[in-house]
Structure 1
Amino acid sequence: MYLEHINLVVSDVEAMLKFYQTAFPHWKVRSEGVSEWYGKPRRWLHFGDDQYYIAISDNGVGANRDLAGHQTGLAHFAYVIDNIDSLTSRLQNADYQIANPGTANPFRRNVYFIDPAGFEVEFVQYLSDIPSERNNDL
């Protein structure tokens, strides 16, 4: 079992696409279109590779939850990557700022960015293949 996709409702599809294209330059728009969602038109796209993707649609209204607050909702989601330095450089060179540099751990490195819709995204590079080390809480 694995998570195939996450579906994000946003106000600006293009801004989101730019962020995720910068993070994952090997991904592509798999499909896209226009449809109706509960009586409201929306543009949508699926951005990813052959296994995983992000579904993004543009009929969002209002602000995302306050990430420093305690409201119910999505706190963050994470992607496992092979090279955290390369990803961080790409995002910073495209003027995206690190929101949280992550925590020191001998078995993983992580960094957090806020995407254009206000979702916190963690990127993690594991330095061990041993599950007990990867999942420790040092």
Structure 2
Amino acid sequence: MHTKVQSMSDGYLEHVNVTVKNLDQTTKFLLTAMPNWRIRGRGKMDWFGKEVHWLHVGTPSSYIALQSGGEGSGLNWKEPQVGIKHIGMVVPSLSALIDRLNAAGYQVDHLGASHPHRKSAYFIEADELQFEFIEYLSTVAEERNDYTR
């Protein structure tokens, strides 16, 4: 069975590449959060003289590219360093996601701001990467994308 690939007419984000310390832990977190996602591919490579393992996890049209070999700490989202503060993903049910992640031992770091057309929760996984999960409560783009509240 073939899955239809997203249209290119508007462009879309295909992937983001993130280096992690523990590839298995981050993959477990993502697959728990997004149970419809799958591992699209994996392998190993020489990365500037260091062997690293890589893994692509997501859907047929978008994914997160994870690479092992990370060192140090993730960015503190409360501080002004340059870099990715969080990765946002849309989910059909925020409460179901929170329940799944809580059952697997992950706790909400904080909830997003109150808004009539969306709700969100932030989690920080083992490598200190922050993920925002958003449930939209409207199908109207102007309501979903209202930033005045």
Q: Give the whole-Å Cα distance in 2 for the aligned partners of 1:71 and 1:48.
A: 27
Aligned mate of 1:94, from 104, 124, 133: 104
Secondary structure of the residue that 2:96 maps to in structure 1? Answer: helix
8 Å CA contact 2:76, 2:85 repeated in 1: no
- Residue in 2 that maps onto 1:58: 68
What residue ranges of structure 2 are gaps of 5+ in the alignment? 1-10
Q: State the identity %.
A: 36
Aligned residue runs from structure 1 range 1-138, under 5 A: 1-137=11-147, 138=149
Could you list the runs of 4 or more consecutive aligned residues of structure 1 that deviate by over 4 angstroms after TM superposition? none
Letter in 1 for 2:63: Y
Q: Give the whole-Å Cα distance in 2 for the aligned partners of 1:40 and 1:50.
A: 29
Please report the TM-score for the alignment, with normalisation by the length of structure 1. 0.95
Letter in 1 for 2:138: S
Pairs aligned (count): 138
Q: Give the whole-Å Cα distance in 2 for the aligned partners of 1:100 and 1:34.
A: 35
Secondary structure of the residue that 1:56 maps to in structure 2? Answer: strand
Secondary structure of the residue that 1:78 maps to in structure 2? Answer: strand
Letter in 1 for 2:26: M
Letter in 2 for 1:116: A
Q: Spell out, residue by residue over 1:67-105, the C-alpha distance to the aligned partner (whole angstroms, 9 max, x if none).
A: 221111111120111111111110011110101111211
Q: Give the whole-Å Cα distance in 2 for the aligned partners of 1:15 and 1:80.
A: 21
Please report the TM-score for the alignment, with normalisation by the length of structure 2. 0.88
What residue ranges of structure 1 are gaps of 5+ in the alignment? none
Secondary structure of the residue that 1:25 maps to in structure 2? Answer: coil
Q: Spell out, residue by residue over 1:100-133, the C-alpha distance to the aligned partner (whole angstroms, 9 max, x if none).
A: 1112111111111112221111111111122221
